[in-house]
Amino acid sequence: MNPVLDIRNLTIEYDTPTGVFTAVRNVSFSLAPGERFGLVGESGSGKSTTILALMRMLRGGRVASGDLLLNGRDVSAIPEREFRTVRFAQMSLVPQGAMSSLNPVLRIGRQIGDLFDDHGVRHGRDERRRAIGSLLQRVGLPPEAQDRFPHELSGGMKQRVCIAMSIALGPSLILADEPTSALDVMVQKQVLATLGRVQKDLGAAIVLIGHDMALMAHFVDRIGVMYRGELVEMGPVREVFASPKHDYTRMLIESLPSFDAPRALRRAAQGATFARGG
């Protein structure tokens, strides 16, 4: 099957006051239709830069070399006018800090409606309301959430709105940049579960960016580890966890709070026995 996304030898540079900085170096990976791929790595390792290049949203940076193919098409060769329709319809982004990208002065329904308008999706008035309501329901929100302003919603609800917008036009690829990192742990899990469900229903492939290896391990099929601009390790989650090749990956896994949990529990249990025995 042809890959939805094929990134080959991607190198990205930013112009900085002190010269050219290579933020992403020679990165290659591809995604099969419906596949879940996780991108982890420390802050500044080039995760966001990689997917912003794909969306052609780099600010102050450029693709220095390499290819970005979306459903077999070279992303950089698509005329800007047409590319506007590619965003959301073929590939959508839940940007880092997405909820703060919602317009604070427009009701949720209006913001989703604008998205439909921008992409030539026409509805009658009642039909539009129903379409937005059912979209919101797909991400676990009540249809009436469309009448709210962003500040009237919780963080988790706002993030669900952003997910709703990312699936509104049925893309074959979703790019989610730390979609849950601003939320508390319980809400994180719920929002991620929702993202997983809608992604599956849609049959879309997804690139999920995050720091949290544990959360990631439950969600993705394959994982890639970025370190200082390079993709230093990539493979099925199970394999990467069972035998990490790169020092940084090993460190990420070992730093998981749950990693040593069984031993820690045993130790605590023993401690309790000793305490009782003593």
Ligand X SMILES: Nc1ncnc2c1ncn2[C@@H]1O[C@H](COP(=O)(O)OP(=O)(O)OP(=O)(O)O)[C@@H](O)[C@H]1O
Binding site for ligand X (CB under 6 A): 14, 16, 21, 23, 41, 43-49, 59-61, 96
46 or 140, CB closer to ligand X? 46
7 or 157, CB closer to ligand X? 7
Contact 145, 19 (CB under 8 A): no
CA angle (60, 61, 67) in 5-degree steps: 155
What do you get for the CA distance between the two ends of the chain, in Å? 65
- The minimum distance between CB 227 and Mg ion, in angstroms, equals 14
Distance, in Å, from the CA atom of 143 to the CA atom of 2, rounded to the nearest integer, reads 37
- The minimum distance between CB 270 and Mg ion, in angstroms, equals 42
140 or 177, CB closer to ligand X? 177
- Give backbone dihedrals phi and psi of 79, rounded to 5 degrees, phi first: -60, 145
One character per residue 72-111, x = contact with Mg ion (rule: CB under 5 A): ------------------------x---------------
- Give backbone dihedrals phi and psi of 12, rounded to 5 degrees, phi first: -125, 135
Question: Pick from Mg ion, ligand X, none: which does 59 bind, CB < 5 to 8 A by kind?
Answer: ligand X
- The minimum distance between CB 201 and Mg ion, in angstroms, equals 27
Question: Pick from Mg ion, ligand X, none: which does 81 bind, CB < 5 to 8 A by kind?
Answer: none
Work out which of 48, 50, 92, 180 binds Mg ion, going by CB under 5 A: 48
Q: CA–CA distance from 26 to each of 23, 214, 231, 248 (Å)?
A: 10, 27, 8, 18
Q: Which residues neighbour 129 within 8 Å (Cβ) at sequence distance 6 or greater?
A: 109, 143, 146
- Which spans of this chain sit near Mg ion (rule: CB under 5 A)? 48, 96
